[in-house]
Structure 1
C-alpha cells in the first residue's frame, strides 16, 4: 500500500477491517474469560476477575506506550525518508519493553496477594483472584509484547498479519477457555492459562513478519539514547493513559460499588466494564487503522490527506458508538445474559445501569479517535490533555461527588458526563489547533 499516493478513502478502509479485527479480538481475551468464568464459576468468579482487570490494563497499556509511541515515530521517520531513525525507534521500544515486563513479572509474583486486597478483594474471593492472577503476572512479557508488536507490525505495512495473529490467538483462547473451565473443571486457573496460550500464539504469528521480505524493521546495535526514549514515551503516553485510565475507572467504580451496594454491584459493573472493553477496542481499531496513514502523510507534509482521514475516522467511530448505545438501550437483558445466569436482583440493577452508562459510548468514540489523531500529527500534549480529562481528572472527581447526591444512579452517570465534557473540549481543540 502506498500511504502517500493512494486514495485516502480506499486506504482507510483497507486498514479499517484488519485494525478493528486485531483490537476487537484482543478484547476477547478478557471477554471470553469473563463469559466462561461467569457461566462456569459464577457471579463471585466474575467479580474477582473484574478486580484483576487493572493489572491487565497495566500490562497491555505498557505495550501500547512503547509500541504505539515508537510506531508513530517510526511511520513519521519513514514518511520523511529516514529509515535509520525509524529503526532506532523500533530498537529502543523493544529493549525498554523487555526490561519493564521483567520488572512487572518479578514484582507481581512477590506481591500478588497484597495487590489483590489493595484492588478490593475480600477474604472470600482472594483465592479466586490469585488463582487467575499468578498466571497473568508470571507471563506478563507475553501480554506486553502482544500489544507492542501489533503496533509495529501494523505500522510496517502489514495490518493483515496483525489481524491474523490476534484473531488466531483469540479463537484459540475461546476454545481453550471452554475446555479448561468446563471439561477439565479448572475454574479461574483454566481461564488464565487459556489467555496465556492464546496470547503466546498471537506473539508467535506476529514474529513471522520479521521473516517476510516486506519487513523494514531491524534491531540496531548502538548506544542507549535517552532522547530517543523520551520521544517514544512522549508520543506513546496518550495511548498508555487511555488503557491505564480504563483500569483506574474500573478500580474506583469497584470500590464505590462495594461501598454503596456490595458485591452484586461489582458483578453488574463487570458486565458493563467488559462491554466497555469491546466498545473501546472498536474505537481503538478505527483510530489505529487511521493512525499509520495520518502519521506517514504528516511526515511528508501532505496535510490535506491527513484531514481527509481524520474526517473519515471520526464519522466511522461515531456510527459504531451509536450502534453500541442502541443495542444496550434496547436489549439490556440480553447483555446481562451473555455473562451470567442472572438473579432477579442482578437483572433489576443492571437494566438501569446499562441504559445510563451506554450513553457514554456516543462521546467516547470521538474522544478516543481525536486523541489518536493528535498523536499522529505529533501533538502528544493535546492528546494527553484529552486522555487525562476523560480518564482521570473529571472521572475521579465525579465518581466521588455524584453518588453523594444521586446514590447508585450517580455512579452510572459518571462516564456519560465525563465523556460529554471531554468531547466538547476535544472538538474545540480540533477546530482551533490547525496542523
Structure 2
C-alpha cells in the first residue's frame, strides 16, 4: 500500500474504499474457503461429519475470540497512539500483543488436548458422532496458536496501513486450504482430520506472509525489546473485550443451538444448522470486513480529535452494511435450496429442513450489519462499555432468551427465528447508546473550542 495515505486529511470515502475493498475481499475469500471446507466434508465424508464439525465450532471460536481480543484490542490502542504521534509506544503495544497471543493460545491448546474426550461431550457430541468430533478436534487443537497469531497479526497489519497485505495473506491461505482439502479428503481419504489439517496449513502460510511485513520493517510497527506492562495489557483487553465477547457469545449460542437441535431432531438437526452456519460465516465475515475497514480511520481521527471525520466514517460504514444485508437476505429467499444442495444433495429431509431454516434465519442480516458496525465503532473510540452492552444483547441475552422461549411457541421454526429477533431488538439498544454518546461528544467539542 502507498505510504502517502493520509488518514487525517484524505477524503473519508477514498480512505474507506481503500480499506473496504481488500478487507471485504479478504474476508470473503477466507469465509468462502470455510464454506468449501464444509462442502468437501459434507460430500466427501457425510452429514454426520458435518454435525461433528459444527460441534467443534465453539472451540474454534475460542481461538478466534482470543485473536480478536488481543489483535483488535492492541491494534486499536496502537492506531490511537499513531494519531497522537507516539510511534515507539505503538510498537511496544504490538510486541506485547504477539507475546500474549502466543502464551495464552499455547496454554489453552495443552489443557484441551489433555481433556479431549471430556471436552467433546461437553460441546454436545453423542456416541454416534464422537469419533468424528475427536478426530477433527485433535488436529484443530494443534493449530490453536496458529489461528490466534494469524488473527492477531492480521489486525496489526491492517492498522499499519497494509490492508492489501492482510487481504493477500487471507486469500493465499484460503487457496492453499481449499487445494489441500480436496487432496486430503478425496485423494488421501483422511476425513475430518484432513479438513482440519488443511485449515491449519493455510493459516501457517498466512502467518509467514504477515510476519514478513513486521520483520522486514515495511511499516511503522516493528518488534522491539520490551516487557509486558500490566497497564498496557489491561488497555488491550479492555478494547478487545467486545470482540472477544462477541466471538464467545457466538460459541455459546452455537453450543445451545446444537443442544436444542440434538434434543428436538437429533443429528439431522445439527447437520441442518451446520449448513446454515457455514453460509452464515460468509455473510458475517463481510460485515466484519466493513467494520474493520472503518476502524483504523476512526481510531486515528479520534486520536487526532477529528470528530466530524469520525462521524462521517461511521455513517458510511452503516450505509454499506445495510446494502449488503439486503443483498444477503434476498439471496437466501431466492437461492436457499440451491445453496443447501451444495453441501448435501441426496438427503431430502436435510435439504428441506435447512432450506426452511435459511429463509427465516436470513432475515437477521437486515439488522446484523448495523449492529456489528456499531460495536466496532464504539470499540474504535475506546468506548468498550457501550460495545460490550451491545455485544451482550445480540450475542447472549436476546439469543439465549429466544432459544428458550421461541421454540415453545413456534416449534422448530422458533429456533430459526431466534437470530432475527435478537438482531432486531439489539438495533434499539445500539440507537439508545448512540444517542447517549452524541451528547457526550457535543460537550467534548465545546470544551475543545
Q: Deviations over 1:266-291 (max 9, x none)?
A: 11101111111111100000000110
Q: Deviations over 1:235-269 (max 9, x none)?
A: 00111122112111111101001111111111110
Q: Deviations over 1:158-190 (max 9, x none)?
A: 000110001000011001101110111111111
Q: Deviations over 1:192-211 (max 9, x none)?
A: 11111101011111111124
8 Å CA contact 1:19–1:163 kept in 2: the answer is yes
Q: Distance in 2 between matches of 1:222 and 1:133?
A: 35
**Structure 2 stretches of 5 or more lacking a match?**
442-449
Which of 24, 34, 37 is the matching residue for 2:28?
A: 24
Q: Distance in 1 between matches of 2:346 and 2:436?
A: 48
Deviation at 1:56, TM superposition (A): 0.6
Matches within 5 A, 1:347-426: 347-426=351-430
Residue equivalent to 1:317? 321
Residue equivalent to 2:445? none
Q: Distance in 2 between matches of 1:38 and 1:308?
A: 44
Residue equivalent to 1:65? 69
Residue equivalent to 1:110? 114
Which of 153, 158, 171 is the matching residue for 1:149?
A: 153
Residue equivalent to 1:6? 10
- Normalising to structure 1: TM-score of the pair? 0.98
**Structure 1 stretches of 5 or more lacking a match?**
none
Q: Distance in 2 between matches of 1:342 and 1:241?
A: 38
8 Å CA contact 1:145–1:203 kept in 2: the answer is yes
Q: Distance in 2 between matches of 1:7 and 1:249?
A: 40
Q: Deviations over 1:34-87 (max 9, x none)?
A: 111001001011010010011110001101100000000100001011112212
Pairing 1:333–2:337 present:
yes
Deviation at 1:400, TM superposition (A): 1.1
Give the SS at the match of 1:392: helix
8 Å CA contact 1:336–1:342 kept in 2: the answer is no
Q: Distance in 1 between matches of 2:150 and 2:109?
A: 15
Which of 253, 257, 261 is the matching residue for 2:257?
A: 253
Deviation at 1:32, TM superposition (A): 2.5
Which region of structure 1 is more displaced relative to structure 2, 339-348 or 355-364?
Answer: 339-348
Residue equivalent to 1:280? 284
